[in-house]
A and B are shown apart, each in its own frame.
Chain A
Amino acid sequence: MATLLVDGQQVGAQAGDSLLVAMLRTGLHPTGGGCLCLGGDCPNCLVTVDGVAYTRCCQVPARDGMVVRRDLLGGEEPTLLPDESLSAGKAAPVRHVHCDTVVIGKGDSGREAAREARNADLSVVTLDARDGQHVTGVYPGPLVVASDQAGRVLHVHPRREIVVATGAAEIQPVVPGSDLEGLVTARAAAELVAAGIDLGHAVVVGERPAGLPEGTLAKHFPIGQDSWELLRFEGDGRVEAVVVRRQGDADATEERIESDTAVLGLGRNPRNALARMASDLPVRAVGSAAAEPDLPPCPTEGTVCPCSGVTVADLDDVWERGFHEMELLKRATLAGTGTCQGGVCLPYLRSFLLERGGRLQPAFTARPLNRQLTVRELAAGAHTAVTARSPLHDEHLSLGARMDRAGGWWRPWTYGRKDDEYRSVRERVSLGDVSSLGKMAISGPDAEAFLERIVPTKVATIRPGRCRYVLMLDERAYLLDDGMLCREADQDGGDRFFLTSTSGGSGFFELWLRDWAEAFGCDVRILNQTASLAAINVTGPQAARLLARAGAGELPSFGRHRQVRIAGVDCRVVRLSFTGELSYELHHPAADARTLWRRLLAAGAGFNVQPHGLETLLRLRLEKGHIVIGQDTDYDSTPRRLAHEWAVNLNKGDFVGRQALLRTNKLPLDKRLVALRVEEPPAGQAGDPSAEGAAIHDGERYAGYVTSDAGTAAGGGAPMLGWLYLDPEGNLPRDVTVDGRAARRVDGPIYDPEGARARAAVDIVSESPENVREFPLARPEATDLADEAPTGPPRLRRLEATRVSATTAALDAVVDDSPWPAGALAFRTASDELLVTATPDFEVAGDPHAIVEPETAFSYVWLDEATAERFLDRECEWRRPNARRALAQGEVAGIPAKLWFEAGRTLILVPAPFAAVFERRLTGSLGETDGGAP
């Protein structure tokens, strides 16, 4: 026998008891009184169970050790903060179930519907409140969400049909005294009797329940035409008498019958909310859930809505003042907006409105939640957005970096040595991790023509080996993103380009390019290498010397790029500059990033090399007047407003945004993003962006605001960027104030206006051989996929693979051919893309423009079949293939994953930037206890 605590009192429960039945056995009635329905439809048995308020105790099985408080209704509302308030925050576990048909309700009609479906060879899942499954909603998907007695949440994904066989609720009494204890519905009475609870002397009004022992029944009053009407209940706290009268005869004598329990069979209201909230889905109500609702008599007195405490007098009052629509009546009184969502009041609101207005109005809209789950239950199966990790993430941590989320990536904000980080760039040499830049390889017969239509820069004049800063505009000529475009040396296949975007834009970048390629009908291959390639910016006056010491051969001059082997790693070295110093951006395979980073730091020790964080980078670029997309730009930033006309060539043919530029360039200019030099020292410290958002004034006139500030500049005076409005004469003011401080608009960057430092000619091409070490390639964390599944807790490892972008036909042929070692897997991730778990020593014969690149940006884990199934039942929402030796891809645990199912084991591949988070979610999910099959 289970023992539980109700308001500190020990209560024993018999097997099969609901919490309500166990309480009633002990003589404990829920507080607040009111008619008990035992069907989960009314608000009259709400209690707090184990800290969860608004729990209907008729719907909860009595469990040993349960702690119950009867503090709802009639008492104070529950508190927002339970004692353990700040220690929670975890979502409930979820289990995904796929089937053909889901049947909600196991009554006669539900069982019949399930039987029919099974006879038609359909897979069926049935859910029933009596089995502890409370369905909260039927959603587009289709998706049926239910809590489960195992403490988890079920997400049932039916392919064919949702059958709502939830039966009907019983109509509650609305008369004076309907908030007394001792009132039960007819079905509730039958259940209580069956549970052995003594109802004492019972008076039945309306339909008489089956199974009520003869001795119990004091009197039976049928209701309706030519019979009786219920007038009120009398009693002090608990019902003592029921008062009735002959129907329709106001002069007839009232009959008052003493009773211990009033049993009320007042009619049925179909539980059809689940069907009504999903009318556009394959949902079907059956049995009494599909019946028309009974309409009770128009109430004359008493509480209509016990949740919100609304009386018939309240309804009359608002009706008289013009609130005649069902929704207005509801909103003006709040009837139906409480915890039973109209379960009690809706039938009476309809009969009230019918009588007053002569029009039967529809029920108010059915909305989720049908049964009220908790926030942690509703959160089940959701994950917050993953922040990507650079392959150098752990290196930054070990160097003491404070990491920060920026543009969807974790980036080192500072290594705690702000001033030295700055000086190392300006005076010596520094490393910056720019792996988060968006990176696209683009080839194909139309590659050049395509890019001409994408960027406003002339592409045809970019010679192989050269690179150029480019803007990316939308159709309205507003700046979307910027990056650099490199043209590769002519290869056999002809043109190939490498295009970068900002970190924040990288998620959108590929979609944007592919969308335009399709719209323009361009024959191009596009390979997203954002995660495939890490990038380290080596910047500072000693940058070339550091690289030379790390074994670099010939380095590119300004505006050029070339392949160079540095410290044993093959890099695409791009020479442009964001910091204003001599800079080499080293793009290289993600798997080699740690090796390269460590070796560069080692090679630079003699130059006192330091890494710099994002905070310092933002200051460095500001001194050069370089914009940051999103911070300095908004949805009206045309190249002209940004003073970036130099990056636009209107004479080269059409490109995205050109039409808008031709039109808007004729309109008068209103504002411009300008560089300002504020002479007075700012209040804040160096690097403190205290003036961002500050208003700029031109005399008395408001003239704009500051978008970027980094505090003190190297040469004294603070550099800022800001929007400056033209004055009424159409001129851009020169001398303005920022927060009352004198400021002057400057025409070029504050730091090194001529750009001599960034463009400096470099004559150090190689170091003396004794200084240069040999650097063998080392990829300690990469392993071979063919390895057997490791034992112990699952750990993700980096995969050595190949990625191919080629025409569909060419890829079809390659897949047929499978020119890779046996055992390698080929994932056809898109019609024009292939991922092969082998190193790239094969050709794509059918497409001379194919891009075949080594790929180290995936991590993998093998799970044994049982573990994989357990994990995927919880973390994979979509239906997995039943076949073995099958591939599938989709989101798993909130992360895009590729799955390979073999007999006995399952392979999971995820992008390496998400691997650490995936591993944590995998371990966390497997650590949860399993509640068994539903």
Chain B
Amino acid sequence: MNEFVERQMKLTWRPPKKSYDVVIVGAGGHGLATAYYLATRHGMSNVAVFERGYIGGGNSGRNTTIIRANYGIPAAVRFYQRSVDLYRGLEEETGRWLMHQQKGILWMAHSQAAVRAERMRAKLNTEFGAQTEWVEPRQVRELCPELDIEGGGRWPVLGASYHPQGATARHDRVVWALAEGAMERGAHVHQNTPVEGLVLDGERVTGVRTAAGDVAAGAVVSAVGGHVSRIAAMAGLRLPIRTHRLQAFVTNHYQQQFGPIVASSELFFYASQTARGEMLLGAEIDPQPSFSYRSSHDFVQDVCRRALCLLPFMSNLRVLRQWTGVCDMSPDYSPIMGQTGVNGFYLTTGWGTWGFKAIPAGGEQMAELIATGEVPELIAPFGLDRFARDRTMADRGSAGTH
């Protein structure tokens, strides 16, 4: 018997109605979280989430499930810390096992410039509530004995920033728990139903267009990943978003042994062991924009080579599967959330490589915005208009690989 078979959650599918208070485009983590928090926090359940494929089938089901708040600018640290906190309580709140494991993340430095950057980050994170400390090589070794601290003689670990709240959770279960929570309070989720257009009344978005007809909506939220530029274009918006591939791979299952999440921003990869025992590795986005889901050999080849520098014990592990997601990258490496300047149309996008860890906070804040009409303080800095106002949330340092 497999202990990982999902044995609790119940998904309830209902036929679509002609009109909802809120229509959310995209049943990934962010779309479903928005529906979930609308239902649980604001009592709004006349809500539908439209999904062109199956729930959680985009980046929500393709990411490397890392949860952390060690970002590089105060507004981001606060926001992601909120998400870390919500994640920690999500199993209890939903009553569902999400395989949430707090395991700590080590971000290793191999050069003096990286030492300074990581020490700086530790200090800034701690100041804003995301506890992070600088640890010397000796402590790194204690936290992760499997690491070759000499880096094969070429990439010695000079220390690391250590973020004990770094965690992982099973991505699919997070999606399903949010879907279930929204569904059981009356929200609708419609799979295999692409949104083909927006219904506009003058300057205002009043609904969505599907193959089965128009659906009226008091508010439309795009929580689309990968193709947000197309949805936004339907509302006449041009977004500062470029879409890039992000790849990852897992090995076969091995006994539980590898404790923390480890990352190297100079060797550009990160690794953790999943609850099932697979070693899971990811790295930076592909440099050229693309909408392709095709995995490349360069990626697995290069990441394996780099991983061997620090994790030589992986030499003989067999790689099981590689896959690809597509990331909507914003120019400042921060998300875009909130109003759009088009009445009735909201966006949560620019989730780049950091979307999974933001799911609860993103959903909570978007729900509050839609329910109250007021922009919550936590996401006020992340509005789309920040680019025109020259108030970008520049944070490239924290986004590098994750």
Residues of A within 8 A of B (CB): 51-55, 76-82, 85-91, 137, 139-141, 143, 145, 277, 280, 308-311, 314, 317-318, 321-325, 327-328, 331-334, 337-339, 341, 367-369, 372-376, 378-384, 404-407, 413, 476, 614-615, 630-631, 634-638, 663-664, 667, 670, 689-695, 702, 705-707
Contact = CB atoms under 8 A, between A and B. Distances in A.
A631 B127 contact: no
Contacts of B391: 670
B92 interface: no
B258 interface: yes
Contacts of B124: 693-695, 705
Given A322-B12, A405-B113, A635-B331, 14 more contacts: A85-B313, A140-B296, A334-B4, A334-B5, A334-B276, A367-B295, A368-B321, A374-B319, A375-B251, A379-B308, A614-B112, A635-B332, A695-B124, A705-B127
Q: Is the interface of A mostly helix, strand, loop or mixed?
A: loop
A743 to B, nearest CB: 15
A636 B113 CA distance: 20
A739 B144 CA distance: 31
- A-B pairs, top 5 by smallest CB distance, nearest first, are A322-B11, A89-B312, A693-B123, A693-B120, A382-B305
Contact of A310 (B2, B54, B317): B2
Contact of B1 (A309, A332, A664): A309
Contacts of A384: 154-155, 267, 305-306, 309
Interface stretch (B35-43, B200-208, B363-371, B392-400): B392-400
Interface string B139-152: 00000001010001
Contacts of A638: 390
A321 B315 contact: no
A140 B253 contact: no
Contacts of B392: 635-636
Nearest to A332: B6
A374 B152 CA distance: 19
Given A78-B254, A368-B300, A369-B321, A404 B112 contact: yes
B352 to A, nearest CB: 13
A413 B301 CA distance: 32
A81 B257 contact: yes
Contacts of B305: 91, 379, 382-384
Contacts of A694: 123-124, 127
Contacts of A53: 252, 254, 316-318
A80 B300 contact: no
Contacts of B137: none
16 contacts: A80-B258, A80-B317, A82-B316, A91-B304, A311-B1, A321-B6, A321-B10, A332-B5, A337-B321, A341-B321, A373-B319, A375-B317, A384-B305, A384-B309, A405-B113, A706-B120
B273 interface: yes
Contacts of A87: 312
Contacts of B54: 325, 327-328
A79 B394 CA distance: 42
B129 to A, nearest CB: 12
Nearest to B1: A309
B313 A317 contact: no
A137 B391 CA distance: 45
Contacts of A413: 112
Give the size range of B's interface with the partner.
35 or more
A466 to B, nearest CB: 32
A38 B382 CA distance: 57
B313 A90 contact: no
B120 to A, nearest CB: 3
Given A331-B61, A614-B112, A86 B312 contact: yes
B312 A314 contact: no
B255 A79 contact: yes
A706 B121 CA distance: 11
A689 B109 CA distance: 15
Contact of B301 (A334, A379, A670): A379
Contacts of B276: 334
Nearest to B150: A86
B119 interface: yes
B216 interface: no
Contacts of A52: 316, 318
Given A81-B257, A379-B305, A88 B252 contact: no
B258 to A, nearest CB: 6
Contact of A80 (B146, B267, B320, B394): B146
A85 B321 contact: no
Nearest to A49: B316
B387 to A, nearest CB: 9
A362 B152 CA distance: 45
Interface string B44-87: 00000000001111000100000000000010000000000000
Given A311-B1, A375-B308, A636-B394, A51 B127 contact: no
Given A53-B318, A88-B315, A333-B5, A141 B297 contact: yes
Contact of B2 (A309, A341, A379): A309
Nearest to B273: A80
Nearest to A51: B316
B254 A79 contact: yes
Which of the listed residues A78, A310, A373 has the most CB atoms from chain B within 10 Å of its own CB? Answer: A78
Contacts of A407: 113
B13 interface: yes
A378 B304 contact: yes
A695 B146 contact: no
A192 B273 CA distance: 39
Contact of A327 (B57, B279, B319): B57
B148 A89 contact: yes
Contacts of A614: 112
B155 A374 contact: no
B57 A376 contact: no
B13 A322 contact: yes
A82 B267 CA distance: 24
B5 A382 contact: no
B110 interface: yes
Contacts of B321: 337, 341, 367-369
A405 B117 CA distance: 14
B323 interface: yes
Contacts of A145: 297
Most chain B beta-carbon neighbours within 10 Å: one of A314, A341, A374: A374
Interface centre among B154, B301, B321 (most CB of A within 10 A): B301
Given A81-B146, A325-B191, A614-B112, A334 B2 contact: yes
Interface in B114-141: 116-117, 119-124, 127
A353 to B, nearest CB: 13
B307 interface: yes
A277 B294 CA distance: 8
Contact of A78 (B56, B255, B266, B308): B255
Nearest to A81: B313
Contacts of A691: 123
A377 to B, nearest CB: 8
B374 interface: no
Given A89-B312, A369-B321, A636-B392, A695 B301 contact: no
B316 A376 contact: yes
A323 B173 CA distance: 12
Contact of B6 (A323, A378, A383, A705): A323
Nearest to A376: B315
A9 B197 CA distance: 68
A693 B121 contact: yes
A318 B9 CA distance: 8
B333 interface: yes
Nearest to B172: A331
A321 B176 CA distance: 11
A91 B308 contact: yes
Contacts of B55: 328
B111 interface: yes
